[in-house]
Amino acid sequence: MVEKRNPITVEDAIKRVMKYRKTGEIEYIDIKQANGRILASDIIADHDVPAFNRSPYDGYAIKSSDTSNASTDNPVVFRVVGHIGAGSVFQDTVKEKEAVRIMTGAAIPDGADTVIMLEDTETLDNDQVAVKKQMENLQNISLAGEDVKKNTVIVPKGKIINPGIVALLATFGYKNVPVSKKPVIGVIATGSELLEVDEELQDGKIRNSNSYMMIAQIERAGAIAKYFGQFSDQLDTCIEQMKSAMTEVDFLITTGGVSVGDFDLLPDIYKHFQANVLFNKIRMRPGSVTTVAELDGQLLFGLSGNPSACYVGFELFVKPVIDTFVGRNQVGMKKAKATLSVPFTKANPFDRFIRGHYELTGGKVEVSPSGKDKSNMVHSLAEANCFIHLPGGTNGYNKGETVEICLLENV
């Protein structure tokens, strides 16, 4: 007799999985490899930026008080006592009616409190310069700390490192950047019908697309995929292969073989391992037969063989575990609201996660299905950038209704 399964809600399923979440360790990587990784420690400013008062212009550093009567009709003449470019420091102190020719980025010499732009001066003979404009104290000075104040947290841990954060890391001398280690996630495809990607089609067989899809999902989520290949539907062989795979990874995903078919071996494999099956039926479509088990604290994800169900199962249940492992601030898919551009009038007792495509049109977020919605179909995945989440237990949804979408590409 076919076993009766007890469906649980999606929220409950996620909670059960998250009970076995793990947190990864910190590793230090070269700054050139840091883009896209998750920052593992707060970055605290150990100095002001800029670290010294500096000139934002090419001009002359002078005392503003010397210009109090300056005008076009009454130019004030200064003696040029120095000449510095960015990186050089004027070793003396600027005195009354003295000017230091200074370039953008150079430190303001002691005694000076303003920089007059070259365009507002006239160079005279004998190292003299005429100023025809009044200047104020601190005018045209980039003050120390005006960008970043010493001791502030400039980037909190958990942020995804982007090029702007890389600039900050470099500013503060992080040649090696503390990031969270990526988990290693094993991928195994099951099913005797599967051909490898480079094999010719044969009667009754299909190419294994789920493994490559999941490797891409794993990488998009910021983890490392380890592919163990395709396993046949031979129980003994599968058990041995899974046992060995588990020792090499943080989490293991299998695809296929979780339903009630004669060759669906995962339930028997979990039984053989005496694994703790957290659930084997969820009140959702697609992926209702998604199964997750735990063995000695290690999560074994039994995703469905149907491509779209496998895809959805990964984003709902594996991604939050990766997010937690790498210490990302956003755990699980980011949610947003969107206007449905097509109706879904069929009532469904289960939550639906429809592959969708959202677009920003005229300041509004509009979402429509990205293709046909059956769980055994693969085409609609290509254009999907979100799931349209339709909670179950309603009479359907009308065009124009506001719905929740779960974003796929915003990791």
Cβ distance to ligand MOO smaller for residue 180 or 308 = 308
Give yes or no for a cis peptide into 50 (omega within 30° of 0): yes
Residues 198, 157: contact at Cβ < 8 Å?
A: no
**Interface with ligand LQZAQKY5 in residues 345-404 (CB under 6 A):** 375-376
Query: Considering the rule CB under 6 A, would residue 306 count as an interface residue with ligand MOO?
Result: yes
Neighbours of 354 (CB within 10 A): 26
What sign results for the dihedral spanned by CA atoms 14, 18, 21, 24?
A: positive
Question: Which residue is nearest to ligand LQZAQKY5, using beta carbons?
Answer: 305
From CA 139, how far away is CA 116, in angstroms rounded?
A: 8
CA separation for the pair 342, 339 (Å, rounded): 9
Binding of residue 340 to ligand LQZAQKY5 (CB under 6 A): no
Closest CA to 243 of 215, 263, 264, 272: 272
Asked if 55 and 118 touch (Cβ cutoff 8 Å), the reply is no
Q: Which is nearer to ligand MOO, 313 or 320 (CB)?
A: 313
Q: Please, what is the minimum distance in Å from the beta carbon of residue 303 to ligand LQZAQKY5?
A: 7
Site string for ligand MOO, 327-366 (x = CB under 6 A): ----------------------------------------
- According to the binding rule CB under 6 A, does residue 113 interact with ligand LQZAQKY5? no
Task: Using CB under 6 A, pick the residue from 66, 98, 113, 264 that binds ligand LQZAQKY5.
Answer: 264
Instruction: Give the other-Cβ count within 10 Å of 363's Cβ.
Output: 5
Our separate counts of H helices and E strands in the chain read 7, 24
Question: By C-beta, is 114 or 210 nearer to ligand LQZAQKY5?
Answer: 210
CB-based contacts of 4, cutoff 8 Å, min separation 6: none
**Least CB distance to ligand MOO at residue 308 (A):** 7
Q: What is the 3-state secondary structure (H, E, C) of 227-249?
A: EEEEECCCHHHHHHHHHHHHCCC
CA distance from start to end of the chain: 43
What is the spatial distance between Cα 287 and Cα 307, in angstroms, rounded to a whole number?
9
- Residue count at the site for ligand MOO (CB under 6 A)? 9
**With CB cut-offs between 5 and 8 Å by kind, which of ligand LQZAQKY5, ligand MOO, Mg ion, none does residue 241 bind?**
none
Q: Smaller CB distance to Mg ion: residue 261 or 343? A: 261
Interface with ligand LQZAQKY5 in residues 219-258 (CB under 6 A):
255-258
Per rule CB under 6 A, is residue 288 in the interface with ligand MOO? yes
**Out of 101, 285, 355, 389, the residue judged to bind ligand MOO by CB under 6 A:** 285
**Residue 46 CA: distances (Å) to CA of 73, 139, 146:** 48, 27, 14
| Interaction residues for Mg ion, span 257-316 (CB under 5 A) | 259, 261, 264
Q: Which of residues 272-331 bind ligand LQZAQKY5 (CB under 6 A)?
A: 286, 288-289, 304-307, 309
Q: How far is the CB of 268 from Mg ion (least distance, A)?
A: 13
Query: Cα separation of 386 and 333, whole Å?
Result: 9
Which of 186, 222, 286, 356 binds ligand MOO (CB under 6 A)? It is 286
The two structure tokens encoding residue 29 = 């990587």
Question: In the complex, which residues of this chain contact ligand LQZAQKY5 (CB under 6 A)?
Answer: 189, 191, 193-194, 206, 208-211, 255-261, 264, 286, 288-289, 304-307, 309, 375-376
